[in-house]
Chains A and B, each alone.
Chain A
Amino acid sequence: MENLFNLFVRSIFIDNMIFAYFLGMCSYLAVSKTVKTSMGLGVAVTFVLLITAPVNWLVDTYMLKAGALAWLSPELADLDLSYLSFMIFIAVIAAMVQLVEMAVEKFSPSLYNALGIFLPLIAVNCAILGVALFVQEREYETIGEVTTYAVGSGLGWFLAIVSLAAIREKIRYSHIPKALRGLGIAFILTGLMAIAFMSFMGIKI
């Protein structure tokens, strides 16, 4: 339990998707103009991560890893399909996003309306594939760890995009050098926030 909590805090603050790995930057910069839309996207990303990361982990452990197919028949025990992982992961993500979209539309139309266009766009958000690949690379062992890591990363992303959106709303009327307006200042702001987040480094619970 302690281990899980530690992982959770780590993935939100220290291994933050935006500030430490720059994943999902494209939508992070494009959608962070107002707090409301950025919240919608943040929630959607967290939600999709919560579902796709465990699914991808299951697929990886029971189908793709070296010897993972041994449960099917002993002849397949020395088969290693891990070179297929990129293609399978992206397919799983695209399919899950589609499924999630349909499920949300059916069971919670209000959430569906709030998320709007962001749900389908998430399939090509680097943070989703990034989490799947990090899980594979760091060899997390239980589904609990994977889910905790996924939710933590999603919340970290949510935190990052909402705070950038809030700052961008505030600086709309500031006097920024002409050439720095828009994209330039957004990068520098993200850099400053990343420096602030660096102070969490080394925290252990």
Chain B
Amino acid sequence: MSEEKIIKEKDPWFSPRNFKLLKNPLNLENPVTVQVLGICSALAVTVQMKPAIVMALSVTVVTAFSNLIIALIRDTIPSRIRIIVQLVVVAALVIIVDQLLKAYVYDVSKKLSVFVGLIITNCILMGRLEAFAMANKPWPSFIDGIGNGLGYGAILVIIAFFRELLGSGKIYGFDVIPKAFYEAGYVNNGLMILPPMALMTIGVIIWIQRSKNPVLQEDN
């Protein structure tokens, strides 16, 4: 993987290489659909757009800053205890995010329930810390964190969009399907709100993405 190469010191802040770090996770190296990381908490919060967006932002913030912090102290961490150090850094950041959510968007924080805490064991974090932040300078690591957080968030928001639209006829809490439709016999698909359809939706997203990018296809 090209992004794993160590980035030279003299790169300007927004060099093409750094830009690539931001852009690649959105499609070709998407953490959810390609690297298969962080699915645990990705699906349960996608019934509506609002919790999904809050969750995506929280994960982006935590990945970006944990990448930054680990990259800053990477030379001083003894490699035998690095997992514990990483977990502590991540847990501290998640506690901050959790307290902020409780303070400012209490209703969403109640809806996310345990899934904010589960950001700690979100594999995206450990994956990026191990694969990228431990070997790169702080700034590229920060960008990599933002990129991966956004890649994860993009999938989350896409799934939430379809589940909310088809399941309850709303987008971000606003009714979008006109009353005339319901009067003509249109019914919301209640199955979309239930857990199985999150799995199906992500399966279909992977299908579409892989038929557009044959590089990603598996040989079984």
Contact = CB atoms under 8 A, between A and B. Distances in A.
Interface string B185-211: 000000000111111101110111011
Contact of A22 (B87, B198, B206, B218): B198
B7 interface: no
B75 interface: no
Interface in B111-125: 113-114, 117-118, 120-123
Interface stretch (B17-25, B88-96, B170-178): B88-96
Interface in B50-98: 83-84, 87-88, 91-92, 94-95, 98
A133 B95 contact: no
B133 interface: no
A25 B43 contact: yes
A191 B210 contact: no
Nearest to B98: A86
Given A22-B195, A129-B117, A190-B199, A182 B40 contact: no
Interface stretch (A5-13, A40-48, A99-107, A170-178): A170-178
A83 B103 CA distance: 13
Given A26-B36, A178-B217, A179-B211, A184 B206 contact: yes
A94 B84 contact: yes
B167 interface: no
B38 interface: yes
Given A86-B95, A194-B195, A25 B39 contact: yes
Contacts of A183: 33, 36, 206, 218
A179 B210 contact: yes
Interface in A79-132: 83-87, 89-91, 94, 123-130
Contact of A87 (B41, B83, B88, B217): B88
* Residue of A86, A186, A194 with highest tally of chain B CB at under 10 A: A86
A40 B211 CA distance: 34
A177 B207 contact: yes
Interface in A166-205: 172, 176-188, 190-192, 194-195, 198
B122 A126 contact: yes
Contacts of B88: 87, 91
A26 B94 contact: no
B208 to A, nearest CB: 8
A20 interface: yes
A181 B206 CA distance: 10
A23 interface: yes
A26 B117 contact: no
Given A183-B206, A195-B196, A29 B95 contact: no
**Among all A-B residue pairs, the 4 with the closest Cβ atoms:** A182-B218, A187-B203, A191-B199, A126-B40
20 contacts: A22-B40, A22-B44, A22-B199, A25-B42, A84-B95, A85-B117, A89-B117, A91-B87, A123-B83, A126-B118, A133-B113, A133-B117, A133-B118, A134-B114, A137-B113, A177-B207, A178-B210, A178-B217, A194-B196, A198-B196
Given A25-B39, A184-B207, A191-B197, 6 more contacts: A25-B42, A26-B38, A89-B117, A91-B88, A124-B121, A186-B203
